[in-house]
Amino acid sequence: MSNVSSHNNDLSIPDGVTFVGSINVPGFAQINGDISGEIICKELEVGPQGNVRGKVQAQAIQVHGQLENDINCKGLVKIFKTGKVTGKLSYAEIDIDRGGQFIGAMTSNKSSLVVDVAAVSADTFLSAILNSPNINLRLRSEQ
């Protein structure tokens, strides 16, 4: 049985698979394996076992695993409680769940705001930028 999605423009890389190189996916890319290189896609989901290192360009990104290096998202970046993003991040909107991590430099492509952060919790990060203009950041606590 194939692990590739049934949609012609989508791609699924399962846990245990390693890929080095460039991937251009017109639709949705779901990564649960290890990817090093470049990914260009409409939507990217890094699963809990996923590890993506390199240059990423997408319209929307969801991170449950690890995403590293140069990330450019024209829409929403969603970092779930198990997700960790490190490196340079450019985004239009960002949503970090409690427990989710961001380490690096982020730039909102909606404004000229640049924030450099070290390894901090989402709570600390939110309180540091709460009064910053032109930034849309939501933090949800688990209940």
Q: Encode pLDDT of 58-115 as tens digits.
A: 999 999 999 999 999 999 999 999 999 999 999 999 999 999 999 999 888 875 444 4
Instruction: Grade residue 129 by pLDDT with cuts at 50, 70 and 90.
Output: low
Secondary-structure percent of the chain, ordered helix, strand, coil, rounded to 5: 5, 60, 35
Beta strands in 9-83 (DSSP E): 11-13, 18-31, 34-46, 51-58, 60-63, 66-73, 76-79
In this structure, what token pair is assigned to residue 79? 């970092």
Q: What is the pLDDT of residue 5?
A: 42
Q: How far are the Cα atoms of 7, 48, 114, 116 from residue 39, in angstroms, in the given order?
A: 18, 18, 24, 24
Which tokens hold the place of 36? 């090093």
Residues 19-44 have a mean pLDDT of 97
**Of 32-36, 108-112, 127-131, which has the strongest mean pLDDT?**
32-36
**Around Cβ 80, how many Cβ atoms within 10 Å?**
19
pTM for the predicted model, two decimal places: 0.75
Pair 126, 139: CB distance under 8 Å: yes
